[in-house]
Amino acid sequence: MEKLDTPFEQIGCAQSVILLCLIRCFSIFSLSTMESDMENLSAKLFGIFLGFMIDLVFFIPTVIILKKNNGGIFELSKEVSNGFEKSLSVLYFLFALYSAVILAVQFNNFFVTTIYHGGEKIFFVIILCAVSLYGTKKGLEPCARAAAIFFIIILLTSFVGMFFLIPDIDFLNLSTPLFKGWKSVLRLAVFYASESFPICFLLAFGGKIKGGAKKAYLNYIIISLLILEVVSFLVITVLGEFGAAEAYSVFSLASASKGGILKRYDSFYMFSWIFTAIVKMTMLIYFSTTCLKPIFPKVKPATKSLFVAVLICVISYLFLENGKVFDIVLKLNSVGVFLVLTAIILPVATLLGIKIKTKRKVGGEAN
């Protein structure tokens, strides 16, 4: 577990891009009806693009933070005050916990509602957390290496599956994106921009990336945008209204793809989905453990990770028992509240704190 605390545990730019893309891929594979409306499928493509542009703009405070202190937001917040550092860590920890719980519940729901009807509710969450805990123990760099292997397999299988869908593309399913006006496009843009964990990840570990976080984030945005646009394009043009009505439209897309020696590609989808979930959960536990460092400096990182994993399981179980509460909690994320908080408000507050402190220091020295 020492690796978690080692400041020299660096990862390459390509590795970080792959890691971030896989984190994003989980959301891509979990595309569901709630983000799109049947009457205006094409708004999605435009909404995705705008969403990613919002993400780019929201990355600016991260760039400034990393410029000021390569150790990331937690190192920088130390300079403001210990209390500020602890408060900031708690807030980021809560956000990571929230994201992890959502991921765990979605993971569990997919298995229980789609594949193993009547499976034990918490079983899949425990398995996911156990595997991710092992990944967290190994550290950032080994996880990034494993992620690279998953990413190549996912890309190759997705490419083959998509290739056989080409004859079924019907461009007539693409209508004008503004058919329902700007409102629906903006709603979708906010939804697609709301994946804020990559920014938080870079706020904390951006300094560990060889070649710089800026380059990694830009590459991640380009690759993820491309993947999401291609997948959404296929969902719209191949499945049409059926894709909009399905709870897991990418799963249905894989199930509709038939060609070559394989009759269907949904098993590949499941493989990809499971591995992206593991990578994302590993990173969330890793991030949460880092957040807990200023609060519990004397507790071993391994103990903290275990605590986080247990907490995720317990909260997920409570949400699984109360589906309606989970729906409300999930909606909070889709309106971009956490993106604004974690990518804008908290980093800007840190920068302001530094500025005020410097001013006071200069003022004090002048007096």
State the residues that interact with other proteins by CB under 8 A: 38, 111, 114-116, 118-120, 123-124, 127, 130-131, 134, 137, 168, 170, 172-176, 179, 239-245, 251-252, 255-258, 263-264, 266-267, 270-271, 274-275, 278
What span, in angstroms and rounded, lies between the C-alpha atoms of 283 and 200? 11
Nearest-approach distance from CB 79 to other proteins, in angstroms: 38
- Closer by beta carbon to other proteins, 205 or else 269: 269
What span, in angstroms and rounded, lies between the C-alpha atoms of 363 and 365? 5
Q: Residue with structure tokens 């590993």?
A: 282
Task: With H, G, I as helix, E, B as strand and everything else as coil, classify residue 294.
Answer: coil
Six-digit token pair at 236? 């719209």
Nearest-approach distance from CB 120 to other proteins, in angstroms: 6
- Closer by beta carbon to other proteins, 128 or else 203: 128
Nearest-approach distance from CB 255 to other proteins, in angstroms: 5
Whether the Cβ atoms of residue 232 and residue 45 lie closer than 8 Å to each other? yes
Six-digit token pair at 210? 């060889």
What span, in angstroms and rounded, lies between the C-alpha atoms of 89 and 109? 30
| Dihedral sign of CA atoms 132, 138, 143, 149 in order | negative
Task: With H, G, I as helix, E, B as strand and everything else as coil, classify residue 299.
Answer: coil
- Closer by beta carbon to other proteins, 94 or else 149: 149
Nearest-approach distance from CB 130 to other proteins, in angstroms: 6
Nearest-approach distance from CB 157 to other proteins, in angstroms: 14
What span, in angstroms and rounded, lies between the C-alpha atoms of 362 and 367? 9
- Closer by beta carbon to other proteins, 58 or else 124: 124
Whether the Cβ atoms of residue 252 and residue 239 lie closer than 8 Å to each other? yes
- Closer by beta carbon to other proteins, 168 or else 229: 168
What span, in angstroms and rounded, lies between the C-alpha atoms of 89 and 111? 33
What span, in angstroms and rounded, lies between the C-alpha atoms of 58 and 80? 22
Nearest-approach distance from CB 175 to other proteins, in angstroms: 5
What span, in angstroms and rounded, lies between the C-alpha atoms of 86 and 293? 9
Nearest-approach distance from CB 112 to other proteins, in angstroms: 10
Whether the Cβ atoms of residue 216 and residue 60 lie closer than 8 Å to each other? no
- Closer by beta carbon to other proteins, 258 or else 355: 258
Nearest-approach distance from CB 256 to other proteins, in angstroms: 4
- Closer by beta carbon to other proteins, 78 or else 264: 264
Six-digit token pair at 365? 């020295």
What span, in angstroms and rounded, lies between the C-alpha atoms of 176 and 156? 31
- Closer by beta carbon to other proteins, 197 or else 268: 268
Phi, psi angle pair for 11, to nearest 5°? -125, 155
Q: Residue with structure tokens 């060889």?
A: 210
